Each structure stands twice: as C-alpha cells, then as structure tokens.
Amino acid sequence: MSVDEVAPHRRGRPPTLKDVASMAGVSIATASKALNNRQHVGAATRQRVQSAADALNFSPNALAQGMVAQRSGTVGLLTSDLVGRFSMPVLRGAEDAFGSEKMSVLLADARDDHIRQQHHLRALLSRRVDGLIVVGAQPDPRPSLGQDLGVPVVYAYAPSDDPQDMSVVADDVAGGRLAVDHLIRCGRRTIAHVTGDPTYGASHDRARGAVERLAEEGLTLAGGEVMYDSWSEAWGRGATRLLLDREPALDAVFAGSDQIARGVLDALLEAGKRVPEEVAVIGFDNWEVLATGSRPPLTTIDPALENLGRVAALRLASAIEGRAGHGVESYPCRLVTRSSTAPLH
C-alpha cells in the first residue's frame, strides 16, 4: 500500500474534495464523479476514492454545492410565534417531510412584528433559501408576502389573504361538524357551544359547522346562541354557569378550544354534574397537556397540524420543482376520543 503522503490537508479545516482526490491519487473531477455515482469512472478507482473519503471522514461542502447547483437545499420557516402551540407541530411535520437529507430548515421567528419580519425575510433570501413556509399564530388570514420574492411560498395554518398564494389550513367548518356529529351519535340532543374570541374567523367557522350538523337533526343550539368571549378556562367556567341556569336539561357542550373545555369541565363538576354520564364535553385542538390531564380526560378535535406541515412541505417541494399551486386547501380534522364523552347510558 504505497501512499504518496501528499500534504494531508490544512489544519483545523474540514477535508475537501481535493484532499480526497490527492489521497486517492486522482483528479478532483474524478473524485467528484466517483462519490456521486456518476459514470465514466472505473470500478477500482471508484473504490479507492470511496475509501479515501471514508478515511478522511469527508463530507461535501453544501455551500459550494449550492453555488454551482444554484439551490441551497434550504427552506425558510417564517413563524409568528415560536412558543405558540400551533407553529410547532406544523414545523415538525414540515421538517420530516423534507427528509433532512436533501433539505434543511432555516428558522426565523418574527414575533408578529412587521419590521422584524422584513428583517428575517431579507436574511432568509440572502441565504438563498429555495422556498418559504409561513406559519401564523392564529388561524385567520394574514397579509401576503407578495409574489415577487423570487422563491415559492406556502402559507400554513394561517392562510394568505391573496388567493394567488398557496395556503394549507385546517378545515374548521368540518371540525365543528365533526364535534357535534360525535355528540349526536352519543345520543345527546341539548348541545351548547362555548367558544372564544369572536374576532377570529375560525370561531365562526367551527360554530357554523356545528350549527349545520345540528340543523340536519332538526336541532338548534342549547342556550339559543353561540357563546363567544375569550380562549380561556375562566370563560369556560363562566359560560357553563350561565348555561346551567338557562338550560337545566343540558346534556353536552362543544368547547371551541381545549382551554375552554377545561373550564367547562371544572364548572360542571363543581355544579355536581357527572361527566360524561350527565353532560358530555368535547374540546378542540388536542393540546395534550390539557386534554390528558383533565378529569376526565378530554375528548377533542385534533386539527392535525403535523399533517398540515407535511402537506405544506410537499406543496413547497412541488413549487420548487416548478409545479406551483395556488388557492387555499383545507384538510380534515380528526376526532380523538377520551373519556369526557360517552353514549347516553
């Protein structure tokens, strides 16, 4: 095994293709072809290059590859709330749809601050991301970033207000319908809906789905109307007390969020109602820490955010390949059954 002992490589820096090539006694071009399984390389040579690369623990410089390929193998993830419950699952779904091998995720948290967003946007574009996923903190439409960014953009969870853009969101109407459908299947007939901030479009969508499904049974909302206020446990408690006054026959509550549902449960228990025997409760979001810790554990609607992230990544990948889409795509929610609902004896 005679080796020429060419200068191994500069101290402190990772080995380059040149190092591999000279160790294997071939040109850089040949080394490149060998490692990328291109043809026009002899089997023996290929093997020698491989060994050299392994010995040096060579890993190609993605920046250099990006230069010549004119794509960085990177997507930007622009989010409005990093601590929020909603961006994380999306992010996670996106991250593994891309498979980590070909694509990495560059994260930027804009915190709902417009100028910070512009800042981050410039930084991401400067890094020549191949595409952008924008995930909002609220399910409501948000201003478009515009079409002239030079890279494709997909909006997740919060759609863009420009129909020209591509957005993927959870189907809130179907989610509301699904919740009430489940309660009806449990034999409930006196169903109230306690939900959050009336300025959220999602509140109304969920309520609409709920009311539609009720109507199909010839029913209307217990309490007479949707109870809007805020996304808090406190409101869940307060609304429930009101309801118990107005509707002594109440046998189910659809809560617009798991937080509200927790409040509803609390107030029901306090009033001596048994859940789910007397009153069934269903939440929305499937926020694990809330839904599994409650007494009893909470049946809830899961907006399948991770799936949303996956789809967003897929759509973005397509757009990067040139097959751009547009419009808002809605994806179904999923019923997660725990113990706060059950058939009426």
Q: Which residue ranges make up the site for a second copy (CB under 8 A)?
A: 12-14, 59-64, 66-67, 70, 72-74, 77, 82-83, 85, 88-89, 91-92, 95-96, 100-101, 104-109, 116, 119-120, 122-128, 150, 232-234, 237, 259, 262-263, 266, 287, 289-290, 293-295
Calpha distance 167→159 (Å, rounded): 5
Min. distance of Cβ 216 from a second copy in angstroms?
34
Min. distance of Cβ 102 from a second copy in angstroms?
9
- If you compute the radius of gyration of the chain from its CA atoms, what whole number of angstroms results? 27
Tell me 160's DSSP state. Answer: B
Instruction: HSE, CB side, 13 Å, CA atoms: give it for residue 164.
Output: 8
Judged by beta carbon, residue 89 or residue 276, the one nearer a second copy is 89
Judged by beta carbon, residue 17 or residue 173, the one nearer DNA is 17
Residue 29 binds DNA (CB under 7 A): yes
Residue 6 binds DNA (CB under 7 A): no
Pair of tokens at residue 125 = 């574009």
Query: Which of 11, 40, 114, 345 touches DNA (CB under 7 A)?
Result: 40
Residue 27 binds DNA (CB under 7 A): yes
Residue 339 phi/psi, 5° resolution?
Answer: -110, 5
Q: In the chain, at which residue ranges do the beta strands (DSSP E only) sit?
A: 74-79, 104-109, 131-135, 153-156, 166-170, 191-194, 252-255, 280-284, 299-302, 327-331, 334-336
Query: Which of 23, 52, 58, 132 touches DNA (CB under 7 A)?
Result: 58
Length of the chain, please?
Answer: 345
Name the maximum alpha-carbon separation found in the chain.
Answer: 93
Residue with tokens 């929610």: 333
Q: Which residues of 56-72 are buried (b: 16+ CB within 10 A; e: fewer)?
A: bebeeeeeeebeeeebb
With CB cut-offs between 5 and 8 Å by kind, which of DNA, a second copy, none does residue 255 bind?
A: none
Residue with tokens 């991401």: 124
With CB cut-offs between 5 and 8 Å by kind, which of a second copy, DNA, none does residue 237 bind?
A: a second copy
First to last CA, the chain: 82
Judged by beta carbon, residue 210 or residue 227, the one nearer a second copy is 227
Query: Which of 4, 70, 83, 101 touches DNA (CB under 7 A)?
Result: 70
With CB cut-offs between 5 and 8 Å by kind, which of a second copy, DNA, none does residue 36 bind?
A: DNA
- Give the range of 66-74, 78-86, 174-182, 310-318 binding DNA by CB under 7 A: 66-74
Residues forming the site for DNA (CB under 7 A): 13, 16-18, 25-30, 32-33, 35-36, 38, 40-46, 58, 60-61, 64-65, 67-70
